[in-house]
Homo-oligomer: A and B are copies of this chain.
């Protein structure tokens, strides 16, 4: 605990994953932390699934969880997924490992993780939670935040000399900052929506599919995925355009839903006894990407997590990116002696390009995931990439940089651009299908290494 911060007040808006983790970090340093959250207290109210894609925890997430002191608790309920299992329409299965031996991403329950973080934060005497508090206004200049107590309809103003806005993709704090001069802001929705579905546990509580994989049914412009849960079930997510020939708008009754699933996901249907109910009861939700700059207001308000960089879920990095914000901020706190007037603008400036980069990578990975099987060129590229990595171990797949390292996302994006240029050249070589490990590939690779 730093002595100089003992009395300093810090307001955290939002008690989701990033807000509650960040409250833990602040509490450990002795700040007087006040956390305001629109929803009820999950610890009392319980949590429901329904509208959250399962999380895939990877290196950046683990690093933060370890720093927060809950590594073991989370690891015990996390399910390793060392690769993806692709389901063809005819039922053929293809397994692609995500990394090297021992490397995996981990399926974690969003609600369970949030609950654990709230409990940890709640154990600190210097953390106070205010649930059912909706942020309705931010007076940027004073600085005062106004909340509505949703149980009493009371309006409260809170002095907030230091604010961390972890209030998500639709951040109320960010909406206030958006109207100030020279704030760049972009919200972009995919044409696809998503809907959560379920594969319940099989007989005796066993998983009905191999639990050591992230399952994908890639179908070109749409896909189904399934992540294992600790209770033997899988959480499935259907990603499908809102409108068009094959789309949510066309699935208007049970007959249409049945026909769609039987046609495209026939091997999944027998495992989905509650398909119809799930389909009608669960909402069709949209997928937004938010980019903005700067991430701060003066030196007193900092946007973190989805409030600063909401991304689509296709790289499994949304939570990992938000957690990385916390570890980087925590390291900068040491580096700059806890001087927020230096930490906030430096963090915002240095780290913002990483937010843009993971947003871009996540959008690119959607194309990869849904087109995976359909494109033989892509599978050939994967084969050549693996071959090159074996011959030149320092030639790392971008997926590994993003998932199994703490390399800045911006660097990973640059590498992705560079590798795209490399494989454009390789795949245009004569007879590349036959000579995928031939000398011409090696020549192109060496030229690329030397000259880019």
On A, residues with C-beta under 8 Å from B are 170, 175, 178-179, 181-189, 242, 286
Contacts and interface: CB of A to CB of B under 8 A. Distances in A.
What is the total number of copies of this protein in its complex? 2
A243 to B, nearest CB: 10
A170 B242 CA distance: 29
19 contacts: A170-B179, A175-B179, A178-B187, A181-B189, A181-B286, A182-B189, A182-B242, A182-B286, A183-B187, A183-B189, A184-B187, A184-B188, A184-B189, A185-B185, A185-B186, A185-B187, A186-B186, A186-B187, A186-B188
A186 to B, nearest CB: 4
Contacts of A242: 182
A88 to B, nearest CB: 32
Contacts of A184: 187-189
A298 to B, nearest CB: 16
A187 to B, nearest CB: 5
Contacts of A178: 187
Given A184-B187, A184-B188, A186-B187, 10 more contacts: A170-B179, A175-B179, A181-B189, A181-B286, A182-B242, A182-B286, A183-B187, A183-B189, A185-B186, A185-B187
The 5 A-B pairs of least Cβ separation, nearest first, read A186-B186, A182-B189, A185-B187, A182-B286, A184-B188
Contacts of A170: 179
A359 to B, nearest CB: 13
Contacts of A175: 179
A181 B175 CA distance: 15
A183 to B, nearest CB: 7
A126 to B, nearest CB: 34
A356 to B, nearest CB: 13
A12 to B, nearest CB: 22
Nearest to A187: B185
Contacts of A179: 170, 175
A35 B175 CA distance: 27
Contacts of A185: 185-187
A182 B194 CA distance: 13
Contacts of A182: 189, 242, 286
A183 B185 CA distance: 13
